[in-house]
Structure 1
Amino acid sequence: MTTATRHWLLACGVSLMLPIGVAQAADTAGDGEPQGSTLCTKIPIPCDAVIAHRGASYQAPESTRPAYLLARDLGVDYLELDLQRTQDGVLVTVHDNSLDRNTNVAEVFPDRADAPVSSFTLDELKRLDAGSWFNAAYPDRARDSYSGLEILTLDEVIDIAEEGNNHPGLYIETKVPEQFPGIEQDLRNKLEARGWLGKAAKSRPAAEQGAVRVGDTPGRVVMQTFSKASLQALEEAMPQVPRVLLLWLGEGGIEAAPGRPQGDGESTADYYARQQVASPEAYRSWLDFAKDHGAIGVGPSAVQSEHDGAFSSQFSYMDLAEPWMVGMAHDDGMLVHLYTVDEPADFERYRQRGVDGFFTNRPEQLLEFYGLPSQDQDAILKRYGY
């Protein structure tokens, strides 16, 4: 499916309030390639969605300016981000609950290395280096210009989404929302103020023909969360905005089947890969909750076939998108957006199961898989001084 075809579906002006109805079975195009469900034609979400997980986070430090600039210019549908709130009330893009993994917080604030993001002011966060860790961890992708990168605010990510020739949407996760009471309403207020919600969306020139136009459509924002309570709060704060319930297995998620503990020498990725849901009923209970609270889809985890590398092993989890699981979600009228998948073999395997889109750290690989022209990532980064 071409970029033009995927974005033509969004140009039909479908209302966010249109009932989805019962999903049709996974369809097959004339060329024999599976196309997932037909649900994407009924709601304003791109078919075969390309969701840049924390930006193009294989090639640049996650959730930083170069990662999002690269993803935007490559032509992704959505810039994905994790949302937290600073001590002084600013919405920022940070994944982890603490800052020690991917900043120099231990050097700048040695007594607060394990402190939660919520205990820092924006000014304090802006003093941290959010890029040098990447150069140390992945020397083959290191760039001197990554040193000193800043943590971004939501406003800064919105700026990136608005400023390019492509207009991607935003796929926003409320991270550890129990630590941030009222963050859903804060998010609504910010998106309204920036003209990203409903009829109040500000008028700006549409992207040119052939460019990504998701940011110009009613599907410009998708909310995601692992938290049932936050899903309910998002429903109350922004009932017309598409919402996705993320799925996890075990504590805080779907009930897991009994199994042996992680063995000595067994990688976490291998341990996750052998986990199973307790029963179809356990899986269905989460789908029912999502549907009852107006979610347009679910976001299950994936097992990456190559998960023994230092990078890929971070993003290989349980297989919560087995064929019967995808079918169950489609039968309930919900899309399936899978996290986090980086390799063509895995794109193909899960697409054959009918998955409707992917979170990926390597959007260039997914775009190429979908038959879209490849671009020079190095040239894009150098264009912006990286």
Structure 2
Amino acid sequence: MGRVSARSVRACVVGLAAAAGCAALLGTPAAAQPATGGTGTHERGGPDVIAHRGSSGMAPENTEAAIELAIEQNADYVEIDVQRTSDGRLVNFHDCTLERTTDVEEVFPGRDSYRVSDFTWDELSQLDAGSWFHDSYAGEPIVPLHRVFALTSGRTNVLAEISPCEQYEGLAADLAEALLDHPGEAAARTRDDLAVQSFEIDDLREFHALLPDVPVGFLDAEVPTGAELADLAGWADQVNPQYTVTDQALVDRLHDLGYEVNVWTVDEPGAMRRMVDLGVDGIITDYPQSLTQP
């Protein structure tokens, strides 16, 4: 996650005060069922703990090390980011470009573009995605999508975000087709161990049409509008707002409509407690151990 989309017009203010006036417009979503299962599902009660890019406060984000640490810390989900290489491989990487978290400028100096989508998988596999975080993680590679599912299968669940980077077309379909074409490699492809989220409703709709049994969630940095909720009604399972715009009225409104609510990205203990008290269904955090350890 990370893109903030501006809104100039709101069709409806979502909240308890607007409930009656918006009811006809918003409709009701498909029956939302928890996307839980596997050994990562907790028995401690409270919201699901969703490790943002793995345990990214303690290990370099979206790497195997961060995923393994999140599993060790008993996270219920590992949240990942899906992008596509120039030769069609799906990889787990957040930023649209490679400079912040890899040594790409040293390995491939003078390239016109450092977008993930402008590199082949062979090129990406040569990069160090760990040293930026700490020397002890030197040599951590970028992780292909099938490796993420191999690491997590039977151990924890996956919340996959379809990248909002503007250069991609058809990425949602690519993700769905990869899951359909390689069920052995990408074992997490059912309601029991996988959910998919995006800032783009069209991407969610495209994915849902191909894999309707996998829960989908709409990411929003602001309070979702009535028009957005109307678009989601009948098929989406989650609405996942930024925690800074989340209050009791919003949580209650979304729950009344049948949606699960996973808030992001919550790292401060006081904010975690507030979100738990609001009754959210999941907390996306860089520090899953803060919620999983007694």
TM-score by length of 2: 0.80
Choose which of 164, 167, 170 in structure 2 pairs with 1:182: 170
Residue 19 of structure 2: aligned partner: none
The letter of the residue matching 2:191 is P
* Counterpart for residue 155 of structure 2: 167
Using the TM superposition, give the Cα deviation of residue 344 of structure 1 relative to its aligned residue in structure 2, in angstroms.
2.5
Aligned partners of 1:51, 1:196: CA distance in 2, in Å?
24
Match status 1:150 vs 2:150: no
More helix by share: 1
Provide the C-alpha distance between the structure 1 equivalents of 2:140 and 2:218, rounded to a whole number of angstroms: 31
Picking from 233, 241, 244, the partner of 2:206 is 233
TM-fit CA distance, 1:216: 10
How far residue 196 of structure 1 moved from its aligned partner, in angstroms, is: 7.3
Q: What are the superposed Cα offsets for residues 267-314 of structure 1, whole Å, 9 maximum, x if unpaired?
A: xxxxxxxxxx6xxxx63332232224x111111112xxxxxxxxxxxx
Paired with 1:54 and 1:126, the residues of 2 have a C-alpha distance of 19
Which of 189, 207, 231 pairs up with 1:289?
Answer: 231
- What amino acid maps onto 1:365 in structure 2? S
Unaligned 5+ segments in structure 2 are 1-30, 37-45
Note if contact 1:247-1:320 (Cα within 8 Å) is conserved in structure 2.
no
**Identical pairs, percent:** 37
Matches within 5 A, 1:236-247: 236-247=209-220
| Superposed CA offset, 1:88-142 (max 9, x none) | 000001100001111111112222375311110001111111111112xxxxxxx
The Cα shift of 1:45 comes to 2.5
Classify 1:217/1:120 alpha carbon distance in 2 versus 1 (closer, same or farther; 3 Å): closer
SS in 1 for 2:218: strand
Mapping for residues 75-114 of structure 1, pairs under 5 Å: 75-112=74-111, 114=113
Q: 2: CA distance between counterparts of 1:191 and 1:331? A: 32
Contact 2:220/2:239, CA 8 A, preserved across alignment: yes
In structure 2, relative to structure 1, the CA distance for the partners of 1:168 and 1:194 (3 Å cut) is farther
Counterpart position of 1:22: none
Alignment check: 8 A CA contact 1:172 1:223 kept: yes
1:59-102 deviation digits (Å, cap 9, x = unpaired) = 10000111001111222111110000000000001100001111
Residue 359 of structure 1 aligns to a residue whose secondary structure is: strand
Q: 1:71 to 1:224 in 2, by over 3 A?
A: same
TM-score (norm 1): 0.61
Q: Alpha carbons of 1:295 and 1:360: their partners in 2 closer, same or farther (altered >3 Å)?
A: same
Query: Residues 336 and 71 from structure 1, CA distance in 2 versus in 1: closer, same or farther, beyond 3 angstroms?
Result: same
Distance in 2 (alpha carbons) for counterparts of 1:219 and 1:63? 22
- Matched letter for residue 281 of structure 2: D
Contact 1:223–1:244 (Cα < 8 Å) also in 2? yes
Check whether the contact 1:247–1:299 (CA below 8 A) recurs between aligned residues: yes
Distance in 1 (CA, whole Å) between partners of 2:241 and 2:285 is 13
Q: Which runs of 5+ in 1 are unaligned?
A: 1-40, 136-142, 203-214, 250-276, 303-318, 372-386
2:104–2:114 CA contact under 8 A, matched in 1: no
